[in-house]
Amino acid sequence: MKVLVVGANGQVGRLLVHLLRDSKEHTVKAMVREDEQAAALKQLDIEVAVACLEQSVEEIAQAARGCNAIVFTAGSGRHTGYDKTLLIDLDGAVKTIEAAEKVGIKRFIMVSAIQAHRRENWHEKMLPYYAAKYYADKMLEKSDLTYTIIRPGGLMSESGTGKVTAATDIRSGKIPREDVAKTIIQSLTEENTYYQSFDLISGEVPIEKALKLL
């Protein structure tokens, strides 16, 4: 499966791109927004598409052509205003869904946020962020795509353990970014994750088994 990683310059995105590059099952195309980012990835023999989520659906569709799946792991980041949250985390995600439909890509994995599906549990200081995730996820669920929505807990930079807890409703928890990336890869072809949305934190169950228990 050839996978377009949208948000390939983000922390989860970078890990995911390298894991996919080294995978025996999949190949990868990294979507970034700047030529400088693209040049760095090309030096690592990674295929790159330069496209901006704030531009047209056609630009994203062009980046996606030739791929079999899309992983949306882009985000506006903590240091931008909520205008960028709206444009990237919500509208950028919806544009990517539309681009997938436009070019006939069915498999789509969305990286969301823990408890984004429950308004009553949104973090008070991040309400616009959670609202963006909530409605992007809703749009994906209403699409014709074969979707998986992964809602990781607080992201950590330490090495992954390969063991997680995955369930439809987990109130809180943390997880290494590496384990999020590995869960994404495992989900690509794990049919038990198709049309599923779940929270994801560190746990005691190997990723492959955890996904089969959803």
Is 135 among the catalytic positions? Answer: no
Residues in the chain: 214
The answer for residues whose C-beta is within 8 angstroms of residue 154's C-beta and 6 or more apart is 114, 172, 173, 174, 175
Lay out the sheet containing 69-72: strands in order across.
47-50, 27-32, 2-6, 69-72, 107-111, 146-152, 196-202, 163-167, 205-206
Catalytic residue among 129, 130, 134, 147: 129
What whole-number distance in Å separates Cα of residue 184 and Cα of residue 193?
10
Secondary structure E strands in 76-171: 107-111, 146-152, 154-156, 163-167
- Active-site annotation, residues: 129
